[in-house]
C-alpha cells in the first residue's frame, strides 16, 4: 500500500478512536516503543490528553503500592512537559521511592484531600490548569458523569489523567461497579524481579499489567520492567524479555498481520 494511503488510513483510525473516546480531536500518543504493546493502543501509544484508569488486585486495591509505582512511570515521560500533580486521600505517598524510579521531585506537586468528593474536584481542577502535564489521583470510583467532566478538563490544556482506584482500608468497596469513560483501563500487580546473571539481590522492579479496556484498541497483558538507564526519548517501562509466552505472542502478531 502506498505511503500516502497508509497515512490517510492512520488519520482516519485516529479520528475514529477520538470519536469512540468522546474527544473532539485525535490526541497525541506516548509510545512504549514495543510493538507488542503499541499495536494494542489506538494510534500506536498511550493516548495523551485523556484520562486512564488503574486498579490493583487483592490487597493492592487498598494499599496501591504497585499501582502507584506503575502510574508514576507512566507519568514520568510527561514530567518534562510540565508539573505532575498527585492527589492523595492518605499521607502515604513515598516520594523518595518515586525519586529512586527517576521521578523529578521538582516537578511533583502533592495535594491531600479529605474525601472522595474533594478528590474528584481537585482532579478536575488540576487537569484544567495551565502548566500541568499529568495528574494522578487516588479515587474509589468515577461515574460516567464525572468521567465526562474529567475528559473535558483534559482537553482544556492537553493534560493526561491517571485515576488510581483505591478503596478504604478494611472491607469491601461501598460503591457498586459502574461504567467508565476512561480511555484505557489497566489492572496492575507486582511481579517477581529478575536480578542480572551472576549478581546477587533483586533486579529492577516488575509489574504485570493487563490492559482490560481500551477505546479504539484491544486488550492485552504484559510484564513490564523498569528501564533503569532509559535512553533519551525511551519509555521507562519496557516489556521484560525472556518470559514464557514471548514466542506465542510473536506468532499471534504475525498471524494477525497476515
CATH number of the domain at 240, please. Answer: 3.40.50.300
DSSP state of 91: S
Is 126 inside a domain boundary? yes
Domain tally for the chain?
1
CA distances from residue 181 to 10, 42, 246 in whole angstroms, order as listed = 23, 16, 32
Is 163 inside a domain boundary? yes
Question: Distance (Å, rounded) from C-alpha 167 to C-alpha 186?
Answer: 16
Residues of the domain holding 91: 28-169+181-192+200-257
Per-residue pLDDT of 199-252, as tens digits, reads 777 888 999 999 999 999 999 999 999 987 755 568 999 999 755 444 444 444
Task: Indicate the length of the chain as a whole number.
Answer: 258
Question: Distance (Å, rounded) from C-alpha 165 to C-alpha 182?
Answer: 12
Question: pTM score, two decimals?
Answer: 0.80
Is 253 inside a domain boundary? yes
Question: Distance (Å, rounded) from C-alpha 258 to C-alpha 148?
Answer: 38
**Which residues does the chain have with pLDDT short of 50?**
3-4, 6-7, 21-25, 176-177, 244-254, 256-258
Amino acid at each position: 500500500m502506498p505511503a500516502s494511503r497508509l497515512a490517510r488510513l492512520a488519520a482516519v483510525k485516529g479520528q475514529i478512536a477520538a470519536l469512540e473516546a468522546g474527544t473532539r480531536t485525535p490526541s497525541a500518543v506516548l509510545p512504549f516503543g514495543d510493538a507488542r504493546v503499541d499495536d494494542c493502543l489506538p494510534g500506536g501509544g498511550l493516548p495523551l490528553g485523556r484520562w486512564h484508569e488503574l486498579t490493583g488486585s487483592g490487597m493492592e486495591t487498598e494499599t496501591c503500592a504497585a499501582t502507584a509505582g506503575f502510574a508514576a512511570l507512566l507519568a514520568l515521560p510527561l514530567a518534562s512537559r510540565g508539573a505532575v500533580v498527585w492527589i492523595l486521600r492518605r499521607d502515604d505517598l513515598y516520594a523518595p521511592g518515586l525519586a529512586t524510579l527517576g521521578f523529578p521531585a521538582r516537578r511533583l506537586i502533592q495535594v491531600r484531600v479529605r474525601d472522595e468528593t474533594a478528590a474528584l474536584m481537585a482532579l478536575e481542577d488540576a487537569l484544567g490548569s495551565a502548566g500541568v502535564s499529568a495528574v494522578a489521583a487516588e479515587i474509589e470510583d468515577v461515574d460516567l458523569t464525572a468521567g465526562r467532566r474529567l475528559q473535558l478538563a483534559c482537553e482544556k490544556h492537553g493534560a493526561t489523567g491517571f485515576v488510581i482506584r483505591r478503596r478504604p482500608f478494611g472491607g469491601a468497596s461501598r460503591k457498586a461497579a459502574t461504567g467508565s469513560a476512561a480511555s484505557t483501563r489497566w489492572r496492575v500487580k507486582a511481579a517477581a524481579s529478575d536480578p542480572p546473571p551472576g549478581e546477587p539481590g533483586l533486579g529492577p522492579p516488575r509489574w504485570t499489567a493487563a490492559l482490560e479496556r481500551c477505546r479504539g484498541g484491544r486488550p492485552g497483558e504484559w510484564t513490564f520492567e523498569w528501564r533503569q538507564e532509559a535512553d533519551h526519548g525511551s519509555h521507562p517501562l519496557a516489556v521484560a524479555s525472556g518470559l514464557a509466552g514471548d514466542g506465542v505472542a510473536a506468532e499471534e502478531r504475525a498471524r494477525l498481520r497476515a
